[in-house]
Structure 1
């Protein structure tokens, strides 16, 4: 089963597969391949799996250290169905109402964004007469764009464009072209006039590791997800989701080794010259180092890297076998970095919903500080705060709250690493102090800093060191026009047969649902499935060979 020979005779025979990285995409692809009869080993450098979807506990507080918005529930349920289960069986999901709260920093009261289309329309109408009806049209368009994406553009690795040559896609090309060339910011501006409503329609760009003026308006489909479908929360946090994915992956037969840092992808030559005289090779396995310093070799017929694509290409392969060498990355735009504050706070904070957004008034200046020529930590900064103790009392001791505060900053490891109890790099810890002071002012909680009993700061330097994240980005490459769909990172190496990629830095993009789809696309690609539709569930070797599309 090699990337260069997918779909040929014997491609479905069991093979040895090494998966680099135990984030959700690495676990998901390992579980699916194990169910198809392959011998799969996952190598994760940290002592626990999850990757960006990490966890941290201290002093009775429990924190997710990464994703916290459960959107696109059908994608999660589909993966669980492939594994012979369901989201209902694996998770205790709660629909949040309000979905989230927004502070606009204009002196007015915060806005609670309700669950459901009609109530969202009523809220928009309160801010701007006529905006409710325009939101309805916006959400209709968003729902159609989402359906189109699921049907044709997400569950594919673009190995062939033939499946896209159908009536719906071809007749929709003019509209699709406008959605791709118009920015999300412009689309929001021609929908509503009120600055606050424009921000509500534009902020999903941050979920895409981008800015509203750099993100194609195709991604207004995200407003369908949060304003119409609603926001969910798995009780126990996203750690509970990772635990469920890990358990099903192990039950499928995959082996997971933590504390195993992959240092190189092993290869052997295929022929003296490839296309254009370039050297080609095939994978033979991976070399990795365990916590005791011992070096190991794991033989494999296929290697799937769910690690950061930049790290995979530039650190684990020799220069002559890199599909995406360093010069390629100099032309790419990383998503934002982040300063994360994990705060255990004494007393209640009813000012915060489960999810709370705090927007700066000067929206453009905030994003320019992150993505512009003279990058800096924005001051004041837009913030996101997750208070899971509002929904999940077990997340904090009685009479306390747990706060996860995310502040988008430039993707720059030089901003430093954080620590526990103020022990991080001084510059980053000082920036965290200012962020806490700003949040206290925004919430009108003047004694917030004094009420903090547990504190940990995570910065871009931590993302670079712990996750090998390109430029210290917290999410992955930004979703700009040049970095979306088939223009995003590839699914397979063009120089090394048997080497494939999945995760947030490749197709289809950032976020846990996209990572699950990315994992499924690799399984399809390695087995010669060129369709644009999800695999049939449940997944097993016998039915996959005769029933795949």
Structure 2
């Protein structure tokens, strides 16, 4: 019998843990190497004084991707997680308006809302959602699970029949696509804001991503009780159950390459320890992997390549423990500034700055989950999209971050207080921590301190996104938000499956059949 194949996975975020679980389930001997003390990566967790905060993702979208992943192990998302549907799915406050807009995630509720704000908009939204559902189904079946090792999937007659519909969605922006159909500014913002979850702005991502509205307006939004750390723990359990070993406090200093043709043979840890393997999978930030972990002569994506690419926004995160109730805030609340264009120009433009006022997002998980805050208190996670620029500074606890960051945090708190009708919000804060682009760079090796990696512009999506294997080093594969297929927890799960598909030699464009991964 041949010896068991070995794999080293760099990083214990969701993509690293999922990759380890899938490879171990497929018979590989897998070790995961995590630089930090705890697992989760961007989907991390922080606790203080009885509060527990997720420090990253907070929207559970694309549930069928999670369902498919768990099905690969003979289980279900419902069995592994305590999923709560959110109603309303989210709430919106618009600058200068007193009354919030609650978005209930069903087709009938969404069309009724749109019609109530603009005559005829309900009918137009119905057509918009039909298109969004079709685009989403096409993406899942034809784009997201394709490794693009060949162009066969793109030449499939079933896909080519969709070209007359696809072409306009790829050549116009989401902003143009929305504004051609709706006049009401809040409705336009509702349909355009999902671009932020893709690491972009409505005028920079292609209209194909209107598919996101199928998710939040039609499918609905769920929340895993215990927070997104519960999801990370569930995937870690699968990895360990299938035999993978997870090592924390094990930062990788170098990916070892030898031979001709050049082949990854293992890694050297910062401690000096050398580990050998048949395959190395890096789920660390792709810029860090390519420009810091690989010897210069073996880099497929050198620094000059990155200078021509667009990062996602940076993020100012506020983790706030608040005394008392906050009924003005839903589980998910979006706060939109009126000058939408200026807001995004501040983030992505040549003369970038922290927007003021900002369009921002507030998550109050304590609205759904009693475990994340002490009795009589609320847990707030605030995301302010800002430029991807580590020079903006570090965050800190209790106002101890860099002055520019803490001043921006103060403005965000004041903005939420004024626009959402919570005048005493600042006085009720008992726990405060800020996280800023310099922290993303220092803690996660994030390129330019960005919060998510490569933005989903047309030139950085689907077949134009970095592939999941090095072009110069054999047996070196990639997963995570900057590689195929892209940003977000579901995409990271898919990126793990793409590693398995490549190692199996599977070049089909859709997801693997779940039974193929479940042995008797």
Fold similarity call, TM over 0.5: yes
Checking the alignment, whether the CA contact within 8 Å between 2:440 and 2:451 is kept in structure 1 is yes
Checking the alignment, whether the CA contact within 8 Å between 2:417 and 2:425 is kept in structure 1 is yes
Shift of 1:438: 1.6
Q: Which of 469, 473, 478 is equivalent to 2:450?
A: 473
- What pairs up with 1:189-204 in 2 under 5 angstroms? 189-204=179-194
Shift of 1:166: 2.2
Match for residue 487 of structure 2? 510
Tell me, yes or no, if structure 1 residue 156 matches structure 2 residue 137. Answer: no
CA distance in 2, matches of 1:174, 1:340: 41
Secondary structure of the 1:263 match is strand
Q: Which of 432, 436, 439 is equivalent to 1:455?
A: 432
Checking the alignment, whether the CA contact within 8 Å between 2:35 and 2:250 is kept in structure 1 is yes
Equivalent pairs counted in the alignment come to 520
Instruction: Note the alpha carbon deviations across 1:198-223, whole angstroms, 9 max, x for none.
Output: 10110000010000000100000000
**Mean Cα displacement is larger for which, 411-420 or 161-170?**
161-170
Checking the alignment, whether the CA contact within 8 Å between 1:84 and 1:539 is kept in structure 2 is no
Match for residue 268 of structure 2? 287
Checking the alignment, whether the CA contact within 8 Å between 1:36 and 1:539 is kept in structure 2 is no
Shift of 1:130: 0.3
Shift of 1:108: 3.6
**Mean Cα displacement is larger for which, 441-450 or 148-157?**
441-450
Question: Structure 1 segments of 4 or more deviating over 6 A?
Answer: none
Match for residue 274 of structure 1? none
Checking the alignment, whether the CA contact within 8 Å between 2:73 and 2:518 is kept in structure 1 is no
Shift of 1:85: 1.3
CA distance in 2, matches of 1:27, 1:46: 14
CA distance in 1, matches of 2:144, 2:3: 27
Structure-2 change in CA distance of 1:377 and 1:38 (3 Å): same
Shift of 1:427: 2.1
Pairwise CA RMSD: 1.3
Checking the alignment, whether the CA contact within 8 Å between 2:453 and 2:481 is kept in structure 1 is yes
CA distance in 2, matches of 1:23, 1:542: 26
- What pairs up with 1:425-436 in 2 under 5 angstroms? 425-436=402-413
Instruction: Note the alpha carbon deviations across 1:207-260, whole angstroms, 9 max, x for none.
Output: 100000001000000000000000000111101100100011001000100011
Match for residue 441 of structure 2? 464
Tell me, yes or no, if structure 1 residue 210 matches structure 2 residue 190. Answer: no
**Mean Cα displacement is larger for which, 167-176 or 467-476?**
167-176
**Mean Cα displacement is larger for which, 199-208 or 79-88?**
79-88
Q: Which of 127, 130, 134 is equivalent to 2:120?
A: 130
Tell me, yes or no, if structure 1 residue 405 matches structure 2 residue 385. Answer: no
Match for residue 5 of structure 1? none
- For structure 2, the 5+ residue unaligned runs are none
Q: Which of 278, 286, 309 is equivalent to 1:332?
A: 309
CA distance in 2, matches of 1:165, 1:486: 13
Tell me, yes or no, if structure 1 residue 140 matches structure 2 residue 130. Answer: yes
Secondary structure of the 2:505 match is coil
**Mean Cα displacement is larger for which, 351-360 or 412-421?**
412-421
Secondary structure of the 2:262 match is strand
Q: Which of 280, 283, 289 is equivalent to 1:312?
A: 289
Match for residue 535 of structure 1? 512
Match for residue 106 of structure 1? 96
Checking the alignment, whether the CA contact within 8 Å between 1:128 and 1:194 is kept in structure 2 is yes
Checking the alignment, whether the CA contact within 8 Å between 2:470 and 2:476 is kept in structure 1 is yes
Checking the alignment, whether the CA contact within 8 Å between 1:83 and 1:539 is kept in structure 2 is no
Checking the alignment, whether the CA contact within 8 Å between 1:37 and 1:541 is kept in structure 2 is no
Checking the alignment, whether the CA contact within 8 Å between 1:32 and 1:539 is kept in structure 2 is no
Secondary structure of the 1:377 match is coil
- What pairs up with 1:328-477 in 2 under 5 angstroms? 328-477=305-454
CA distance in 2, matches of 1:164, 1:487: 13
CA distance in 2, matches of 1:443, 1:112: 13
Shift of 1:13: 7.2
- What pairs up with 1:482-493 in 2 under 5 angstroms? 482-493=459-470
Secondary structure of the 2:251 match is strand
Q: Which of 18, 35, 56 is equivalent to 1:66?
A: 56
Checking the alignment, whether the CA contact within 8 Å between 1:340 and 1:405 is kept in structure 2 is yes
Secondary structure of the 1:496 match is coil
CA distance in 1, matches of 2:104, 2:21: 36
Tell me, yes or no, if structure 1 residue 257 matches structure 2 residue 247. Answer: yes
Checking the alignment, whether the CA contact within 8 Å between 2:72 and 2:518 is kept in structure 1 is no
**Mean Cα displacement is larger for which, 529-538 or 411-420?**
529-538
Match for residue 84 of structure 2? 94
Secondary structure of the 2:514 match is coil
CA distance in 1, matches of 2:37, 2:75: 27
Secondary structure of the 1:69 match is coil
Tell me, yes or no, if structure 1 residue 226 matches structure 2 residue 216. Answer: yes
Structure-2 change in CA distance of 1:540 and 1:171 (3 Å): closer
Structure-2 change in CA distance of 1:455 and 1:128 (3 Å): same
